[in-house]
Amino acid sequence: MSGQMMPGEQFSLRCTAMALGASVMPVREAMQRLVAEQALGVTSSRAMRVPTMTDSQFREITRIRINVEGLATEQAASSWTDAGVAPALSRCQSARVR
Protein backbone atom coordinates (compact mmCIF):
# COMPACT_ATOMS: atom_id res chain seq x y z
CA MET A 1 0.00 0.00 0.00
CA SER A 2 1.74 3.04 -1.24
CA GLY A 3 -1.09 5.53 -1.62
CA GLN A 4 -0.78 5.73 -5.39
CA MET A 5 -4.49 5.15 -5.88
CA MET A 6 -7.18 7.44 -4.56
CA PRO A 7 -10.31 6.35 -2.65
CA GLY A 8 -13.09 5.48 -5.09
CA GLU A 9 -10.65 4.88 -7.96
CA GLN A 10 -11.47 1.85 -10.11
CA PHE A 11 -9.13 -0.47 -11.95
CA SER A 12 -9.22 -3.79 -13.77
CA LEU A 13 -7.40 -7.02 -13.03
CA ARG A 14 -5.99 -7.11 -16.56
CA CYS A 15 -4.49 -3.60 -16.36
CA THR A 16 -3.09 -4.32 -12.91
CA ALA A 17 -1.53 -7.57 -14.10
CA MET A 18 0.03 -5.79 -17.08
CA ALA A 19 1.40 -3.01 -14.88
CA LEU A 20 2.95 -5.60 -12.55
CA GLY A 21 4.26 -7.76 -15.39
CA ALA A 22 2.30 -10.72 -14.04
CA SER A 23 -0.41 -13.01 -15.32
CA VAL A 24 -4.03 -12.35 -14.36
CA MET A 25 -4.46 -15.44 -12.13
CA PRO A 26 -2.06 -14.51 -9.30
CA VAL A 27 -3.29 -10.91 -9.42
CA ARG A 28 -6.90 -12.16 -9.18
CA GLU A 29 -6.02 -14.31 -6.16
CA ALA A 30 -4.28 -11.40 -4.44
CA MET A 31 -7.21 -9.07 -5.18
CA GLN A 32 -9.69 -11.62 -3.81
CA ARG A 33 -7.72 -11.71 -0.56
CA LEU A 34 -7.78 -7.91 -0.38
CA VAL A 35 -11.55 -7.92 -1.04
CA ALA A 36 -12.02 -10.47 1.76
CA GLU A 37 -10.09 -8.14 4.10
CA GLN A 38 -12.17 -5.18 2.84
CA ALA A 39 -9.03 -3.44 1.61
CA LEU A 40 -10.62 -3.40 -1.88
CA GLY A 41 -14.17 -3.50 -3.20
CA VAL A 42 -15.75 -4.91 -6.34
CA THR A 43 -18.09 -2.84 -8.51
CA SER A 44 -21.20 -4.16 -10.25
CA SER A 45 -19.16 -4.33 -13.48
CA ARG A 46 -16.60 -6.56 -11.70
CA ALA A 47 -13.92 -3.85 -11.62
CA MET A 48 -11.89 -3.40 -8.46
CA ARG A 49 -12.40 -0.25 -6.40
CA VAL A 50 -10.36 1.41 -3.69
CA PRO A 51 -12.78 1.89 -0.77
CA THR A 52 -13.52 5.27 0.72
CA MET A 53 -12.55 5.60 4.37
CA THR A 54 -14.90 7.20 6.87
CA ASP A 55 -13.70 9.63 9.53
CA SER A 56 -14.23 7.04 12.25
CA GLN A 57 -12.26 4.41 10.31
CA PHE A 58 -9.42 6.89 9.83
CA ARG A 59 -9.37 7.74 13.55
CA GLU A 60 -9.39 4.04 14.48
CA ILE A 61 -6.53 3.22 12.11
CA THR A 62 -4.58 6.23 13.38
CA ARG A 63 -5.00 5.11 17.02
CA ILE A 64 -3.91 1.58 16.13
CA ARG A 65 -0.87 2.80 14.19
CA ILE A 66 0.20 5.10 17.03
CA ASN A 67 0.04 2.22 19.49
CA VAL A 68 1.72 -0.36 17.26
CA GLU A 69 4.43 1.98 15.99
CA GLY A 70 5.09 3.25 19.51
CA LEU A 71 5.46 -0.30 20.81
CA ALA A 72 7.75 -1.23 17.91
CA THR A 73 9.92 1.82 18.58
CA GLU A 74 10.09 1.02 22.28
CA GLN A 75 11.10 -2.59 21.64
CA ALA A 76 13.68 -1.61 19.03
CA ALA A 77 15.19 1.05 21.29
CA SER A 78 15.42 -1.32 24.24
CA SER A 79 17.51 -3.77 22.22
CA TRP A 80 20.05 -1.21 20.98
CA THR A 81 23.57 -1.23 22.33
CA ASP A 82 26.04 1.66 22.42
CA ALA A 83 27.80 0.07 19.45
CA GLY A 84 24.54 0.04 17.49
CA VAL A 85 23.51 3.58 18.41
CA ALA A 86 26.76 5.28 17.32
CA PRO A 87 26.40 4.56 13.56
CA ALA A 88 22.75 5.65 13.62
CA LEU A 89 23.64 8.93 15.33
CA SER A 90 26.41 9.51 12.84
CA ARG A 91 23.98 9.03 9.92
CA CYS A 92 21.49 11.43 11.51
CA GLN A 93 24.14 14.08 12.07
CA SER A 94 25.45 13.79 8.50
CA ALA A 95 21.86 14.03 7.18
CA ARG A 96 21.34 17.29 9.08
CA VAL A 97 24.46 18.83 7.57
CA ARG A 98 23.17 18.34 4.00
Do both 45 and 59 map to the same domain? no
Do both 71 and 39 map to the same domain? no
Do both 65 and 85 map to the same domain? yes
In a domain, 20, yes or no: yes
**Domain range for 67:** 55-97
Residue pair 13/48 in contact (Cβ under 8 Å)? The answer is yes
In a domain, 89, yes or no: yes
Chain centroid offset of residue 92 CA: 25
| Residue pLDDT, tens place only, 67-89 | 999 999 999 888 888 887 888 88
What is the number of structural domains in the chain? 2
In a domain, 2, yes or no: no
**Structural element, H or E, at residue 41:** strand 41-42
Residue pair 83/51 in contact (Cβ under 8 Å)? The answer is no
| Residue pLDDT, tens place only, 24-81 | 999 999 999 999 998 899 998 889 999 998 999 999 999 999 999 999 999 988 888 8
Chain centroid offset of residue 83 CA: 32
pTM value?
Answer: 0.56
